[in-house]
Structure 1
């Protein structure tokens, strides 16, 4: 967005921010109800629309809670799903019925017994978990920072290093869902998508900027990419770099993945770049096929893979060598230990 257009849209942003500020004050003053529950609620959210890295940070939390001996569950809105109302994911579900991120969580954590629930009204999702999964000892809320009808025990605010909330504006002039003042509700702020060797001077400068809006501890995280794995069995072996490859994404911020692949030595001959949560159609692969040649591999993300498994796409993808690049959140310095200290203790063993 150009600077001129940003300035022209600022009056609309101020109006939108004012409406949201009144809403937040009603919750702060107790005039709108915000419900607590009998299990800890750990929220991972942001002020910005999309692309801050919520999914790998939710996965990091769940893995840590399992390691501590908790029985965690994940509750998400289920953005983009074709169903409505509270729902627990089962093997019969898909990205279409629960949403791409919840389905990714299900594929990652179902074997560990982690229930995955979706609900527009998080309160109804929590009631469903209480009724059907009473053994759950903690719930990780995916993207509920603005959903104030439920009160988190721990509010984790993510902000991307390249696009920090303190340098952005409220919609439509910028990409913020609410004003920068919303950072004051955070118990922890995590600055995401940093380089693993982020220098101390940059950390101090970013922390100082955040201090204008929040007194919460400021942590930093990077992406740790894993080895490529085939989306479907039987494709040609993944060629090691240097090699020419294609990239297929439907996420908010594909830049870090492309940068990573190019840093390994891959040349990206074509990037089929679709909007976040894009529901792939067979016609979407025409341009990809025009650029694909035997011997070239096609890389995609775990989140996109949940939507690429739709039955309607099976025929069009059958001979394409699609490989998933998994990603994990890696907290820098002592950030992992700092966050662990703020997690609830596991329940006492039953006699």
Structure 2
């Protein structure tokens, strides 16, 4: 920890330079010197100020479930893919061709178009004629698009903590940029959420009169086998030895959930969007097989499962009890009513054929 703090101290001058560049860019867009493109259909942007870990993927999925009566397209950059340009997800899509999160959307939702493109303006141009609305996944900093509705996410446990801009910290945008958002959604809140904690996050975010500060939490489903059509409840693994494999930005909430059922968790942690290598999986498999506990299980995240389904890994893992744990976002009752109404009214009021 001391070494990490020392490295951050050394990187602070570069964070200062980055902050100046971000602020200048922000002023150029705010003043209209650098133009933004607005489209004649509803465009909802889901974003955050930090690098990963705020819950953009389950929030995007929440919106898809809410908007089932519309023809929806999800447009993402496709972070971690090995391709370039505009790609429409199809049955041949892989995590390498479109990215793990877009692949998750595509495989999860029938009737929803999923596309990736670094240039969001170009991507929207290709999608706009055949869709009622477009959800931009992780595009708050993509100022060339002027989204009709911006949802900005903040992780509950990080509010009120000292955070630095890249590269010393994880912030990729200045805190004042939150003023551009329509909804400030606090994610991964504790359940139950005390009023004093709710008010503390509102005080931290200091919303303007037009902004809504709402709170959400994570809801965990049943474990699903990575390769077989079977599932099991979390209660069924009580006191198991868990071998946890993650390549996400923030696995702490997942660990907190699993610790409700067992204290024996052996965690192999990789960076966000990590491209697993055969050597990694062989080493992990070896550790699992050498474990002494009779009742043991391998657990990973839904996002990581998309990369673990790549060619070569299945042969290594198929005979093992390997499961992923799905998550969903849910809002607290009053906030849910406010949020759903705001989203539905925005889409209804801005449809081209209204």
SS in 1 for 2:179: helix
**Where in structure 2 are the equivalents of 1:34-183 lying within 5 Å?**
34-66=36-68, 69-109=69-109, 111=110, 113-130=111-128, 134-164=129-159, 167-183=162-178
Q: 1:236 to 1:290 in 2, by over 3 A?
A: farther
SS in 2 for 1:267: coil
Structure 1 equivalent of residue 244 of structure 2 = 247
Q: 1:200 to 1:272 in 2, by over 3 A?
A: same
Conservation of the 8 A alpha-carbon contact between 2:224 and 2:232: no
Q: 1:281 to 1:348 in 2, by over 3 A?
A: closer
Distance (Å, rounded) in 2 between the aligned partners of 1:183 and 1:246: 38
**Where in structure 2 are the equivalents of 1:135-284 lying within 5 Å?**
135-164=130-159, 167-211=162-206, 216-233=211-228, 239-263=236-260, 265-284=261-280
Query: Gaps (5+ residues) in structure 1?
Result: none
Structural RMSD (CA) = 2.4
SS in 1 for 2:284: helix
SS in 2 for 1:307: helix
Conservation of the 8 A alpha-carbon contact between 2:55 and 2:153: yes
| Distance apart, 1:11 and its partner CA | 3.0
| Distance apart, 1:10 and its partner CA | 3.0
Distance (Å, rounded) in 2 between the aligned partners of 1:175 and 1:214: 28
Conservation of the 8 A alpha-carbon contact between 1:54 and 1:142: yes
Structure 2 equivalent of residue 9 of structure 1 = 11
Distance (Å, rounded) in 2 between the aligned partners of 1:74 and 1:188: 19
Query: Gaps (5+ residues) in structure 2?
Result: none
Confirm whether residue 289 of structure 1 aligns to residue 285 of structure 2.
Answer: yes
| Distance apart, 1:165 and its partner CA | 7.7
56-65 or 278-287, which deviates more = 278-287
| Distance apart, 1:108 and its partner CA | 0.9
SS in 1 for 2:264: strand
Superimposed CA distance per residue, residues 310-332 of structure 1 (whole angstroms, 9 cap, x where no aligned partner): 01212212222111110000112
The total of aligned residue pairs comes to: 343
SS in 1 for 2:312: helix
Distance (Å, rounded) in 1 between the aligned partners of 2:232 and 2:196: 43
| Distance apart, 1:172 and its partner CA | 2.0
Conservation of the 8 A alpha-carbon contact between 1:95 and 1:307: yes
